[in-house]
Structure 1
Amino acid sequence: MLSQGFVSAAAIAASVLFILSLGGLSNQEKAKRAVWYGIIGMAVAVFFTALGPGIGGYWLMIPMIIIGAVIGTRLARRVEMTEMPQLVAALHSFVGLAAVFVAWSADLERRRVLAERAADGMMQEFSAFAALVATKAPDELMFLQVEVVLGIFIGAVTFTGSVIAFGKLAGKVDGKPRQLPGGHLLNAGAAVLSLALAILYLNGAGFWTLLLLALLAFFIGYHLIMGIGGADMPVVVSMLNSYSGWAAAAIGFTLSNDLLIVTGALVGSSGAILSYIMCKAMNRNFVNVILGGFGGTQGPAAEIEGEQISIDANGVASALNDAESVIIVPGYGMAVAQAQSAVSDLVRKLRDAGKEVRFGIHPVAGRLPGHMNVLLAEARVPYDIVLEMDEINDDFATTDVVIVIGSNDIVNPAAQEDPNSPIAGMPVLKVWEAKQVFICKRGQGTGYSGIENPLFFKDNSRMYYGDARESINALLPMME
């Protein structure tokens, strides 16, 4: 066993590595090194925590670590980038459920310690946590109870919310916003009952209060995320990331583990900041996001006039050969088709021909923050031509050709033109201002969010139907 001082020093080192990891992820060129900081930090955290004072049960711990490592490795090798958003949501659910289990266990240990104290004043068998509880004064035990309540509530909301988010992202649950009759009143009622149960528990009620509290929080998490539409799922994933961080911090307080507190606070605060930034990018109210009150229709949508006109590969290639400036706007359809390498080849040919080629990236493109940036970096697209929405939006009016690959909501003019649209007020890429717009899309459907897009019917827009990778590859032999 290592001394507590040594474990604390290791915790500080791991915390520094986590901070460096988060800081490095803000820059594409430093991201790989930042990931390694996080990996090393987590390895240090797990190793030195496992060897800390009062830790035992290695006969169970070591097999569980090995099993988890094997499962994690297999998943990492099998999961495609297109499935990364739902994988992240699933991992968030694990953190939330762990918080619930730890909080339940903590209260059972607290009750056992108090019962044995009352019986003979002696503890017959000390677990690491029981030993910790046994040293606490009555007022400190009250703080422990508060931590238990917070851990259960935040963890349970995170668990079911993340499970529903996983289902929506994976297409196993309908992406449209759905709520039970009563809507937000049900959430409010469940929250009030949760508060009442917490008060009863803090005043000495039995373990049943924690079980009911968890059930109510499970319902709140489920109902909150079910009420959010598919168009807003990137914000939901970021929000659940924040929730999972606070759940981890709650576990840290319960176990008196400084590293968990620091790590949870880092994840929770960074997730909250990212959610706020994304809400600003979508013109959403942050409080509404937390309460699950957005993503639904606002009224009858405006009627769309015109028709969708298709074009073949020859027509698109001819326009690209004649163009001087090209902007490519990728979306989730590019990820689904794994078309990033084909897009990179197209960019290389266009640039070799002396054309100006850039990418326009919306903050919520794809189903995970930074999704498109990661795919393009994987395909070795130069960082300097990948521009954010604010950097490129004014340039569409002077651009010859825009190619939209699998995007819908982020290029939807209804966000600015139709106050009844579910995405009304959301800042979008103004691709329709370009001379010509080609939309690479599988078919005429409304896409994941179910929102019709007037862009597809505009006079300067043409629909280039087909699988994104096959469609882009079809253009390559025709480029001059």
Structure 2
Amino acid sequence: MENIIQFVYIASASLFILSLKWMSEVKTSRWGNWAGTAGMALAILATLLKPEIHSFLWIAIGIVIGASIGTPMAMLMPMTAVPQRTALSHAFGALAAGIVGSAEYFLHGANLSMPQLIVLCVEVLLGFLTFTGSLLAFGKLQEIIPTRPILYPGRNLVSLSVFVFSLFLIAYLVIKGGSHPFLFGFIVCLSLLFGILLVLPIGGADMPTVISILNAYAGLSSSFMGFLLNNKLLIIAGALDGSSGLILSIQMCKAMNRSFTNVLFGGVGQILEVADPSRDGKIVKSLSPREASILFEAAKKVVVVPGYGMAAAQAQHVVKELTDVLENRNIEVKFAIHPVAGRMPGHMNVLLAEADVPYDKLVEMEEINPLFPETDIVLVVGANDITNPAARKNPGSPLYGMPILDVDKAKQILFIKRSMSTGFAGIDNDLFYSPKTIMLFGDAKKVLNELVISINSN
């Protein structure tokens, strides 16, 4: 039976690796999803075959509770809430790792060797800080708590002190042989506190990167637990989760021209400027959708820039309808995709695929930027920070150096937005005041609907 279990574990690990491979491309992403699901089903089945399990009652109860929570999350949460759902999933996974580690300590803590005790304590530390950090990230993304950085004097010193003190207690516990339940409980509390202190000063715009970093922590926690339980599949799955989360975090930081330390400790996202149309004599031009529709009569090339505003308004299907209307008039339409548009990498790709927008129309930032000068109209649908020219022109801006979509180089910009409010990074967008920019104020779905009707009637 043990040989069968190990064989199934190998098959499960292979499916996890194939899942990551296939999900790296749109054409094979469905296969990747199914492979990951099948791998997890096999892993659970093989674990249930272990002879150490004498009763399935509590396992069945756990499965029912988990399915009762997970199924509504998957079925009912909208695509705009994918980052929140991801944060919750990380929170639950990290909590499970932390609880299992705590159970191992209270059952076998006094009999663990020094290396085992070190692994257990690090696993518990990572698990519980990821749990509270992920919950806080969920709260910020859902706007249950303020999305702006919550800053206070000496915050980095406080956070670092809590972390170092927890490491000191872990070292003391290991040296003393592990037979100090009260001390272990204090380490758990410090881990929970550190997760809160880590995420609290980070702005909502950086939450996707934070979620990815926390994903890496959760994976490492699971991998450490695999070493402790001598479970090879848990080691492999945790390592895959941790490494993929780390790689994604690096890619996101690169896309924003930011470092890990700047994301985690920079406090980016404070409201630095309040948008005011009359500020410094700057003028904002706006039109109704019907008036703006006339501009498309002379257009030959149009680029659509989707952002979180499109996602929040559920406007992707109307964007596809507008694309069809324009193409019927022999207007070339492309979509400019920024690596961190929306709230997670690939967010816009998934939404547009849901609306049946052909994937070959989606052009990445490096390829689309040289095309903007010859573009007649750029239609920005709720994207803010990723189109802000201050990232190129203003050394004093927190966005300076961040690669952006060069929409300001197009011949005409139509910017759909509810108001003149700042983006998620809390920074005013210089593009609003460009002579080439016309604002179309209102809900993205409603504005786009009116555009479609008006263009059809012209």
Q: What TM-score, normalized by structure 1, do the two folds share?
A: 0.90
Residues 343-354 of structure 1: pairs in structure 2 closer than 5 A: 343-354=319-330
In the TM superposition, residue 299 of structure 1 has moved relative to its aligned partner by 8.2
- Map of 1:79 onto structure 2: 77
In the TM superposition, residue 164 of structure 1 has moved relative to its aligned partner by 1.0
- Map of 1:13 onto structure 2: 11
Once the two structures are overlaid, the 10-residue window that deviates more, 54-63 or 375-384, is: 54-63
**Given residue 165 of structure 2, which amino acid in structure 1 is its aligned partner?**
L
| Residue 238, structure 1, aligned to residue 236, structure 2 | no
Contact kept in structure 2, 1:295 and 1:422, CA below 8 Å: yes
| Residue 293, structure 1, aligned to residue 266, structure 2 | yes
In the TM superposition, residue 211 of structure 1 has moved relative to its aligned partner by 1.5
- Map of 1:117 onto structure 2: none
Contact kept in structure 2, 1:231 and 1:409, CA below 8 Å: no
- Map of 1:53 onto structure 2: 51
| Residue 184, structure 1, aligned to residue 161, structure 2 | no
CA distance in 2: counterparts of 1:393 and 1:304, whole angstroms: 29
Contact kept in structure 2, 1:281 and 1:426, CA below 8 Å: yes
| Residue 270, structure 1, aligned to residue 244, structure 2 | yes
Change (3 A) 1:273 1:147: same
Residues 264-343 of structure 1: pairs in structure 2 closer than 5 A: 264-289=238-263, 291-296=264-269, 305-343=281-319
- Map of 1:449 onto structure 2: 425
- Map of 2:372 onto structure 1: 396
- Map of 1:252 onto structure 2: 226
In the TM superposition, residue 414 of structure 1 has moved relative to its aligned partner by 1.4
Change (3 A) 1:67 1:166: same
- Map of 2:93 onto structure 1: 95
- Map of 2:146 onto structure 1: 174
Q: Which residue of 378, 403, 420 corresponds with 2:396?
A: 420
Q: C-alpha offsets along residues 380-437 of structure 1, whole Å, 9 cap, x if unaligned?
A: 1000010111111111111100011111111111112222222221111111111110
When the two chains are superposed, the root-mean-square deviation of aligned CA atoms in Å is: 1.9
Contact kept in structure 2, 1:95 and 1:247, CA below 8 Å: no
Q: What TM-score, normalized by structure 2, do the two folds share?
A: 0.94
Q: Which residue of 210, 218, 221 corresponds with 2:195?
A: 221
| Residue 464, structure 1, aligned to residue 440, structure 2 | yes
CA distance in 2: counterparts of 1:330 and 1:338, whole angstroms: 11
| Residue 479, structure 1, aligned to residue 451, structure 2 | no
In the TM superposition, residue 217 of structure 1 has moved relative to its aligned partner by 1.9
| Residue 108, structure 1, aligned to residue 106, structure 2 | yes
CA distance in 1: counterparts of 2:15 and 2:455, whole angstroms: 47
In the TM superposition, residue 296 of structure 1 has moved relative to its aligned partner by 5.0
Contact kept in structure 2, 1:7 and 1:48, CA below 8 Å: yes
CA distance in 2: counterparts of 1:401 and 1:339, whole angstroms: 19
Q: Report the 3-state secondary structure (helix = DSSP H, G, I; strand = E; otherwise coil) of the residue aligned with 2:312.
A: helix
Q: C-alpha offsets along residues 300-325 of structure 1, whole Å, 9 cap, x if unaligned?
A: 89976512221111222111232100
CA distance in 2: counterparts of 1:450 and 1:296, whole angstroms: 5
- Map of 1:28 onto structure 2: 26
Q: C-alpha offsets along residues 80-103 of structure 1, whole Å, 9 cap, x if unaligned?
A: 111111111011111121121111
CA distance in 1: counterparts of 2:36 and 2:219, whole angstroms: 15
In the TM superposition, residue 234 of structure 1 has moved relative to its aligned partner by 2.1
Change (3 A) 1:300 1:411: closer
Q: Report the 3-state secondary structure (helix = DSSP H, G, I; strand = E; otherwise coil) of the residue aligned with 1:360.
A: strand
Change (3 A) 1:298 1:321: closer
- Map of 1:132 onto structure 2: none
CA distance in 2: counterparts of 1:299 and 1:406, whole angstroms: 20
CA distance in 2: counterparts of 1:300 and 1:457, whole angstroms: 14
In the TM superposition, residue 288 of structure 1 has moved relative to its aligned partner by 3.7
**Given residue 43 of structure 1, which amino acid in structure 2 is its aligned partner?**
A
